[in-house]
Chain A
């Protein structure tokens, strides 16, 4: 892939026409995304949402043996502190750029930070994460990295995040994978491919359940998920194929492995729900094991899970699914498996890779689809109009649904994937409907949004971008 010669990967907007603002139905969005250049939309009012710096920080925190130097004022490291304390992320330093540095540059400070990182942790790899101030004042990170790499004989890798280049947070993952591909994974793959499939997960993907399934199904895999090791990443160049737990997050790595090293990636949807897990496991087994053993395992697990699901039905309940695309599509399938109806899909972004899934949903019930990275003001408006029986999303957004009086489920605390995910998710959903007291209580508390806004259409502040 020639892109690794570039300093930066193309944004998801340029690469795949990613949209971050939309309202319509699945068919209309599929039409839009299948166009050569989807019409970009902007918001004339917006609320805070994840950016590429946050995406990059979360992924860097999962790379074992690494230290991340966040080259920025102190606030850009706040999320790293959370990542370290709540998710056990890797060590980090922050250069605490101040006003003088923002004018005169802070290259020397950065060099000292690399020295400190090396002296303190003796890491396998050091990442230097650029941030908005650095992107604007154009500190020469590259030469500092090259100089220190020569000195310490370990990779010192610049990751050029800016916080304003893309509207998608997953671009932060692309930036990290791009940097790894450009600066670290340079070695040639071994002559004969290893008979294993790369299991790829990015920052937020839990892996316990799916690894249990892979083992049960007898699939041989190279684990590039959870805590990512450089050696596993290096080994991924020689695998027979790649399969992602969430291919949206891992998109850049999947495509680079295929284009640069011929490691095909399996375009399988996330292993969520019974059918989703079955499809995904069979695809993985086809590339890294025997489908015979996988089929036997799947039958056994499906039967056990299906029996458990009998007591957790969602018959007739309309559900608003609000998650990143791969998770949203998987959960929506699972809602239907439970007998529920998908009232709407709310996605953090959507691009051309999602068109087939949207087309599939268009042929089924063609639900409404919103693209809302964060943006509780739009969610509350949409929920008020659709009045679903249940909301499924992440905790940070579920609080807004609950305040709108909708029974809410947050998936943060569960491992969604595989047959174990089915067993974890189903009772969570059932419990939310069993006792809806909290959302009823909250709905009486009033809203921070004006009634005038809630009476307008959801897409009132979404406009087509003028080029």
Chain B
């Protein structure tokens, strides 16, 4: 973050926090900022996350103080006090989270004091500082979760909840790092991981979305292990380790398919001291399952030439697992992986090192870049036959006349509800989507041959202007 970018896909800290909080059942985010901040999150993030919608409490229904000039001049604390007092009377929720945007942070409103007033009235309410200028949407996820954990006692007010039994459940893990909405397939991915863990006798707190069971937030401190799938969840894991004694394991991205999910389960099994035979039996069963489906798909693989050189663009948590699965076992040829989230240099180095260890001999380049124009130039120059990325990259695929598979944020032209690529079964969804991309491109090619309407020229390129007007 911090540098000028074209076609920026990483929104701000406030938006990351809003989408994180509103994805928790029973949580009500309250935005303390200008009126447009909530709409920007709704239209510019939710609706571009596979056309995500208002849901129970999002969209235009998010409480917001709608800062005005007089609050800039005189301070917005009293307006916030009024908003808080009325929100609890109007919006149904288990707890309330005040999220501050840029304007009140610059003005210096005393938000903690206003939130404390609500707490003193026995409402479960906390405040998290999330000005947009302090970070990206990913940092918003981190800030929201660490903020919730640090103030956990404030959102669990009943006597037994105030002193929750923190007895460890030695089979319970918290899954962290899959960011609601920034990961377009977040619901499906969390479900895929949860289902994958069931077979080894472990249970998972996914914490967000419809697959989070009612008691998950009350048992978050009881977990025996945290599993991090993104660099953006490391801070949360470290906090839980130092404050709740919960160790963690970290993976660069969620696992896709039997091989990667098997590695994850073996690691979790070891950490939780689970019965090794049971773990291996479950993995073996799922490997057989995967083999069955790959055999079913094999004819199409060869008939339609699936073994293509590919590029993949998206968040680190989203691209690395699919890239590995397509490379091994599927045998596709990774050429370029563009990681679009902002990561510290040591994390970047670690991702490259891990990739090279896992895929020895791979010729793939891993580039860390978020500028849509730079990425498009890289893709146009790259010798690839398949592109996986966001709606932004679809234009590059169109220009090159190659199959495109939408896998990352922003995703404007698809509806995504339950789909996910993570875990054992997620691999099949990825196969289906890659298949649709390749077969769909083949059918367009056939239409071209029969003259059934296309504006491609004889080189197969497309004369339409590229994203943000980049010309050949």
Task: Give the tally of cross-chain contacts (CB within 8 A).
Answer: 239
State whether the Cβ of B107 lies closer than 8 Å to any Cβ in chain A: yes
Partner of A113, one of B4, B7, B53, B91: B4
User: Is there contact, CB below 8 Å, between A81 and B132?
Assistant: no
- Which residues of B are found within 8 Å of A164, using beta-carbon distances? 34, 67-69, 71-72, 103
Assess whether B127 is interfacial by the CB under 8 Å rule: no
B40 and A453 contacting across the interface, CB-CB below 8 Å:
no
> Can you list 24 A-B contacts (CB < 8 A)?
A45-B86, A47-B64, A50-B36, A51-B35, A51-B39, A53-B34, A74-B136, A75-B11, A75-B15, A75-B44, A76-B132, A78-B11, A78-B45, A82-B410, A95-B4, A96-B1, A98-B1, A99-B134, A112-B4, A162-B69, A377-B91, A396-B43, A400-B60, A449-B92
Q: A45-B86, A50-B39, A377-B61 are in contact. List 7 more A-B contacts (CB 8 A).
A: A51-B36, A75-B137, A81-B410, A86-B412, A376-B61, A397-B60, A450-B90
Q: Given the complex of chains A and B, what is the CA–CA distance between A81 and B461 in angstroms?
A: 25
Bound together, the chains give a CA A44 to CA B88 distance in angstroms of: 13
Q: Knowing A97-B133, A136-B72 touch, does A45 contact B61 (C-beta < 8 A)? A: no
A399 in contact (CB, < 8 A) = yes
A399 to B46, CA, bound (A): 15
Does A165 reach chain B (CB closer than 8 Å)? yes
Confirm or deny: A389 has a beta carbon within 8 angstroms of a beta carbon on chain B. Answer: no
A74/B8 in contact, CB under 8 A: yes
Interface string of B36-62 (1 = CB under 8 A from A): 111111111101100001101101111
Q: What is the bound-complex CA distance between A252 and B400, given in angstroms? A: 44
Q: Does residue A109 face the partner (Cβ distance < 8 Å to B)?
A: yes
How many Å lie between the Cα of A400 and that of B54 in the bound state? 9
Residue of B67, B86, B107 ringed by the most chain A CB atoms within 10 A? B86
Report the bound CA distance from A164 to B53 in whole Å: 26
CB distance from A373 to the nearest CB of B (A): 8
Q: For the complex, what is the distance from the CA of A296 to the CA of B231, rounded to whole Å?
A: 68
A137 CA / B72 CA spacing, docked (Å) = 11
B111 contacts across to A, CB distance below 8 A: none
Q: Is the CB of B107 within 8 A of A136?
A: yes
Report A13 CB to chain B, min CB distance, Å. 10
B36, closest chain A residue (CB): A51
B63 and A93 contacting across the interface, CB-CB below 8 Å: no
CB of B106 to closest CB in A, whole Å: 5
Q: A396-B42, A448-B56 are in contact. Are A84 and B66 (CB under 8 A)?
A: no
In the complex, A448 Cα to B65 Cα: how many Å? 18
Q: Which of A44, A51, A74, A98 has the most CB of B within 10 A?
A: A74
CB pair A133–B133 under 8 Å, yes or no, is: yes
If A85-B410, A137-B106 touch, does A46 touch B83 (CB 8 Å cutoff)? yes
Q: Does A17 contact B (CB under 8 A)?
A: no
The minimal Cβ–Cβ distance linking A316 to chain B, given in whole angstroms, is 30
Interface residues, chain B, with chain A CB atoms under 8 Å away: 1-15, 31, 34-45, 47-48, 53-54, 56-57, 59-69, 71-72, 82-83, 86-87, 89-93, 101-103, 106-107, 131-137, 373, 391-392, 410, 412, 467-470
A183 is an interface residue with CB less than 8 A from chain B: no
Nearest CB of chain A from residue B17's CB, rounded to whole Å: 11
Instruction: Give bound CA distance, A383 to B380, whole Å.
Output: 52
Asked whether A48 and B106 contact (CB < 8 A) given A75-B11, A448-B92, the answer is: no
Please list the residues of chain A having a beta carbon within 8 angstroms of any beta carbon in chain B.
43-54, 69, 72-82, 84-86, 90-99, 101-102, 109, 112-113, 116, 120-121, 132-133, 136-137, 162-165, 167, 169, 373-377, 396-397, 399-400, 447-450, 452-453, 461
Partner of A96, one of B3, B65, B68, B92: B3
**Complexed CA–CA distance, A419 and B6 (Å):** 40
Residues of B within 8 A of A167 (CB): 35, 66, 68
Which residues of chain B have C-beta atoms less than 8 A from A102's C-beta? 102, 106, 133
Question: Shortest Cβ distance from A396 into chain B, in angstroms?
Answer: 5
Q: Which residue on chain A has the smallest CB distance to residue B31? A: A48
**How far is B6's CA from A97's CA once the two chains are assembled, in angstroms?**
14
Q: How far is the CA of A98 from the CA of B13 in the complex (A)?
A: 11
Report the Cα distance A82→B82, complex, angstroms.
Answer: 33
Contact B61 A79 (CB under 8 A): no
Complexed CA–CA distance, A450 and B86 (Å) = 11
CB-based contact B90/A453 at 8 Å? yes
Docked pose: A96 CA to B132 CA in angstroms: 9
- Return the contact of A46 from the options B15, B47, B56, B65 (Cβ within 8 A): B65
Bound together, the chains give a CA A402 to CA B86 distance in angstroms of 25
Q: From B4, B9, B39, B53, give the contact of A48 (CB < 8 A).
A: B39
Chain B nearest CB from A273 CB (Å) reads: 27
Instruction: Assess the A92–B468 pair: CB atoms within 8 A.
Output: yes
Select from chain B the residue with minimum beta-carbon distance to A49: B35
When the two chains form their complex, are residues A81 and B7 in contact, meaning their CB atoms are under 8 A apart? yes
Q: Is the CB of A450 within 8 A of B92?
A: yes
Q: Are A77 and B54 within 8 A (Cβ)? A: no
Are B34 and A51 touching (Cβ within 8 A)? yes
- Expressed in whole angstroms, the minimum distance between the Cβ of A401 and any Cβ of chain B is 12
CB atoms of A78 and B134 under 8 A apart: no
For residue A377, which residues in chain B have a CB less than 8 angstroms away from its CB? 61, 90-91
- Chain A nearest CB: distance from B39 CB in Å? 5
| Smallest beta-carbon distance B389→chain A, Å | 13
Q: Given A73-B132, A377-B90, A47–B48 Cβ distance below 8 Å?
A: no
Q: Which residues of B contact A397 (CB under 8 A)?
A: 60
* In the bound complex, CA of A467 to CA of B442 (Å): 67
Which residues of A have CB within 8 Å of B133?
Answer: 73, 97-99, 101-102, 133
Query: Is the CB–CB distance between B34 and A132 below 8 Å?
Result: yes
* Chain A residue contacts of B68, Cβ below 8 A: 164, 167
Contact A93–B53 (Cβ < 8 Å): no
Residues of A close to B82: CB separation below 8 A: 44-45
- Expressed in whole angstroms, the Cα–Cα distance for A375 and B83 within the complex equals 14
CB distance from A110 to the nearest CB of B (A): 9
Contact, CB under 8 Å: A75 / B69: no
Determine the distance from Cα of A50 to Cα of B44 in the docked complex, in whole angstroms.
Answer: 12
Asked whether A91 and B6 contact (CB < 8 A) given A47-B38, A48-B66, the answer is: yes
CB pair B43–A79 under 8 Å, yes or no, is yes
> A163 touching B44 by the CB < 8 A rule?
no
A132, B102: Cβ atoms under 8 Å?
yes
**If A47-B61, A75-B15 touch, does A461 touch B37 (CB 8 Å cutoff)?**
no
What is the CA–CA distance of A196 and B12 in the complex, to the nearest angstrom? 46
Nearest A residue to B3, CB-CB? A96
Asked if residues A78 and B40 are in contact (CB atoms below 8 Å), the reply is yes
Tell me whether B69 and A84 are in contact (CB under 8 A).
Answer: no
Complex CA gap A92/B469 in Å reads: 10
A412 CA / B218 CA spacing, docked (Å):
42
